[in-house]
A and B are shown apart, each in its own frame.
Chain A
Amino acid sequence: MKLRRHWFSGLISLVVIVCLWAPLVIVAVNSVNKDTLLVSWKGFTTHWYNQAYHNPDVRGGVKETMTIALASTAISLVLAVSGSLWWRRAGHRSQRMFDGLTYLRIMLPEVVFAVALFLLFSKIRFPLGTTAVVIGHVVWNSAYATLIIQARVATLDPALEDAAADLGANAWRVFRRVTFPGLLPGIVAAGLLAFTFSFDDVVTSYFLVGSGTAPLPVVILSMIRFRITPEINAIGMMVMLFTVTMFTVGFLAVTRLGRGARRALALPEGRD
């Protein structure tokens, strides 16, 4: 009955969802396809995984990407947490300026950030490489992290912190024992998001890596440019499995942490 009433939107939804998954299925199938030209199914092989695993560019790229993603996530979280805590008690106009700066970083096309930092670094002769890429990622990644942590900050009850302070806890202790546990689900969610964005980034890394070791997405881009090789499908599959696993684990952690934090602060159970 319900389905019949929405048959039109239902049909479009079905087609769209199938289409969204189709490229991923093709990647999965071709990653174990013996056919080097990828036009038909020629039998199962793990050769491409083996080749990708032993490719030095890929190995270097993974290490580089991990380093960049971890560093930029950590810095972004520090900026986002401190910024959001300031924002909570800031005046109305300062809040609006802070928010404007955050949205600007989300809206602006990445090419513009990348170019701007590229000019700055070449002007002050700051060497391109891992550090430069991390600085660039933090500029936009901290904006996403800030949005998530601000949303969490808004749910914190200032009375709890005031109570802790009245009971004699110093500022650091209040932060560690009350504010931080309350923010933790937001911090985990923001960290996961920042990590994946950084892990996935092409444009900023491409501009700022210079002649250093290229991060994985840049390695993949140059592989695609030069030749279509089934090895890319195997790399892609491994990257996809990694991100999806990380997200699932993270999602479960956030849900459990949310419940844990509420219990720790003796707040009522409820929906997030």
Chain B
Amino acid sequence: MMRYAGQALRSLLALPTLAWMLLFFLIPLGLVVVYSFATISLVTYNISFGWTLSNYRQIHDPLYFNTLTRSIFLSISATLGCLLLGFPLAYFISRQPSRWQKLLLVLVIVPFWTSFIVRTYAIVNLIDNGGPLQHFLHALHVLSGPLNILYTPKGIALGIVYSYLPLMVLPIYVSLERIDYNLVDAANDLGANPRRTFRRVTLPLAMPGVVVGCIIVGIPALGEYVIPEILGGGKTLMLGNVITDQFLSVGDYPFGSAIAVALMVVMALALIVFRLAQRRAAPS
């Protein structure tokens, strides 16, 4: 008797989380899907629910479709950027003595703790024409004219790389740090040159971390709002900005919902691709 009472009591522990998620997460998400099939009269703002696909057809409008492809393109290039910079960094950190490892990790993570919006704003100063980055590139003779990347897609990609880099470095570092370096020594002893050892031993063992890093950078970046808002100069450059505009300025909730659903579909597809990659990356 006591035991059953205890079990019932224990199930009650799940109640707060489940109730909150049902009320404020699952039901609202369902509402987004329902709204995405509704129509709105832009004169009276009356919404009539139904099962029309017109909102989804509207996404094919080049204006919005370009935003969709741009979001995907920016997310992929920012993820690659994070990977190209993050992998060497994670590798370098993992090969240092453990005291240095801790210090280097702190140096990577602390900027990440500081206010996200202030950091993004600081990048405006950094990459603006006449800013420090331009001076630096002029000094290296890499560039002669103005830099012209602020308020362009390139600036947005740079901003995403900046803000998401630690999310790429940490999982790769964790998987590199776990590698048994006797394997590397063995490969070297057996006559593999360093490049071959890296390609055939280190890289495959680091793959699980790489895949996790790509997931936690690439997927949230798809729906980024603040970075394109600030570094894109307020033009509607990514899906997050179009959705926000539809809800808070235009007031076309059904169309905004349809874009949100489209964003979730793209996200789900990306996750499936990553899951397949994850299965292949699992060290055998």
Contacts and interface: CB of A to CB of B under 8 A. Distances in A.
B37 interface: no
A28 to B, nearest CB: 9
B4 interface: no
Contacts of A240: 114-115, 118
Contacts of A38: 125
A5 B12 CA distance: 57
Given A13-B104, A224-B121, A79 B29 contact: no
Interface in A18-49: 19-24, 26-27, 30, 38-39
A113 B113 contact: no
Where chain A touches its partner, the secondary structure class is: helix
Contacts of A26: 122, 125-126, 132
A261 B280 CA distance: 41
B267 A21 contact: no
Contacts of A113: 25, 28
Given A16-B89, A109-B222, A138-B20, A116 B113 contact: no
A207 interface: yes
A83 B16 CA distance: 8
Give the residue among B6, B165, B243 with the most A Cβ atoms within 10 A: B243
Interface stretch (B51-59, B62-70, B252-260): B252-260
B88 interface: yes
Interface in B157-191: 162, 165
B210 interface: no
Interface in B245-273: 247-248, 253, 256-257, 260, 263-264, 267, 271
Where chain B touches its partner, the secondary structure class is: helix
A84 to B, nearest CB: 9
A217 B123 contact: no
Contacts of B257: 115, 119
A9 B123 contact: no
A13 B88 contact: yes
Contacts of B165: 16, 20
A123 to B, nearest CB: 7
A151 to B, nearest CB: 14
B247 A2 contact: no
Contacts of B17: 79-80, 82-83, 86, 98, 142, 146
Nearest to B169: A16
A236 B115 contact: yes
Interface residues of A, number: 75
A221 B244 CA distance: 14
Interface residues of B, number: 75
A86 B121 contact: no
A265 interface: no
Nearest to B93: A13
B10 A86 contact: yes
A12 B83 CA distance: 12
A203 B118 contact: no
B40 interface: no
Contact of A107 (B104, B118, B132, B220): B220
Contact of B264 (A101, A108, A123): A108
Contact of B28 (A2, A109, A117, A138): A117
Given A110-B223, A119-B31, A119-B253, A217 B88 contact: no
A48 B122 CA distance: 16
A232 B225 contact: no
Given A101-B21, A200-B116, A220-B118, A82 B91 contact: no
A10 B95 CA distance: 10
A247 interface: yes
Nearest to A135: B24
B9 interface: yes
B92 A239 contact: no
A82 B118 contact: no
Nearest to A12: B88
Interface in B88-105: 88-89, 91-93, 95-96, 104
A109 B257 CA distance: 14
Contacts of A119: 28, 31-32, 35, 253, 257
B9 A228 contact: no
B208 interface: no
A111 interface: yes
Contact of B267 (A108, A110, A221): A108
Given A12-B88, A171-B6, A228-B124, A23 B119 contact: yes
Nearest to B26: A101
B121 A8 contact: no
8 contacts: A23-B119, A80-B17, A107-B220, A111-B225, A112-B223, A119-B253, A220-B121, A225-B229
Given A24-B119, A221-B226, 19 more contacts: A17-B104, A19-B162, A20-B165, A22-B132, A23-B126, A23-B162, A26-B125, A82-B13, A82-B16, A86-B11, A86-B17, A98-B17, A110-B220, A111-B239, A113-B25, A116-B31, A206-B244, A228-B124, A240-B114
Q: Which 10 A-B pairs have the closest CB atoms?
A: A109-B223, A23-B122, A236-B118, A116-B28, A86-B13, A83-B17, A9-B92, A9-B88, A86-B14, A12-B88
